[in-house]
Amino acid sequence: MINIEELKFDEKGLIPAIVTDAESKKVLTLAYMNKESLEISLREKKTCFWSRSRRELWRKGETSGNYQHIVSITADCDRDALVVMVNKDGPACHLGTDSCFNYPVMGELPLDFSVKSLYKMLEGRKAEMPEGSYTTYLFEKGMDKILKKIGEESTEVIIAAKAGDKEETVYEIADLMYHVMVLMVEMGISVDDVMGELESRHIIDHKVKQEKMTK
């Protein structure tokens, strides 16, 4: 056993924590801990992380109910990364999926993922309202909560982009897109509705350009 003082936190006081499922051994997510969040995790035996975008402690499951009960925490040979093995109460990803790692960089795609497939998944969540799902939580709370989250995620996109952090901006844009799509499902707005609107704007822009060229 090693203690916290032996771990190597980076210049921001953070250490990466790779969260894995104790049963399936599947990687669930990559998050970050500081000394305080690690101490809370050890004490409460539930994962607690440090949110780099919000700059605050983040207890996994505090909002969604998808708590992660810690089975073990192991440091690597350099003492600068952790593997946190957990038993989870629900989806690990805020998008409602079992794992955050669903986007292959190499090899065949395990799923035909698209905006429309995500929309259908969200429709299914609203129809079935599975217990422990963050998406279920949003639909249960209703329009005000959904709009509040869209406002928060929009702000986080702005903060990340203003800082020039491409990786963080991509992450926050994905959060924003997800919450906007929850709103779309809540209001009965389809992906085709939005694409049709964009297409009509393209036609208008094209006509305006043609008119300018003939003058």
Strand stretches in the chain, DSSP E: 15-21, 27-33, 48-51, 56-59, 68-75, 82-88
pLDDT tens for 4-48 read 999 999 999 999 999 999 988 889 999 999 999 999 999 999 999
What is the predicted pLDDT for the residue at 208? 55
Look at residue 113 in the predicted model and tell me its pLDDT.
Answer: 59
Direct distance between the N- and C-terminal alpha carbons of the chain, in angstroms, rounded to an integer: 79
The answer, yes or no, to whether residue 213 has pLDDT greater than 70, is no
Q: Which has the higher per-residue pLDDT, 83 or 105?
A: 83
- 149 phi and psi angles, rounded to 5 deg: -65, -40
When the pLDDT of each residue in the chain is averaged and rounded to a whole number, the result is 88
What pLDDT does 121 receive? 82
Query: What is the per-residue pLDDT for 210?
Result: 55
Residue 70 confidence (pLDDT) above 80: yes
Helices then strands, counting H and E runs in the chain, come out as 6, 6
Q: Which residues contact 170 (CB under 8 A, 6 or more apart)?
A: none
Average pLDDT over residues 73-81: 96
| Cβ–Cβ < 8 Å for 17, 82 | yes
| pLDDT at residue 111 in the model | 46
Q: And the tokens for 14?
A: 């953070």
Residues in a beta bridge with 87: 69
* pLDDT of amino acid 143: 97
What pLDDT is stored for residue 109 in this prediction?
Answer: 45
- Is the pLDDT confidence value at 66 over 60? yes
The per-residue pLDDT for 212 is: 57
Where do the domains of the chain lie, and which CATH numbers do they carry?
Answer: 4-88 (3.10.20.810), 115-206 (1.10.287.1080)
Least confident of 36-45, 120-129, 165-174, 177-186: 120-129
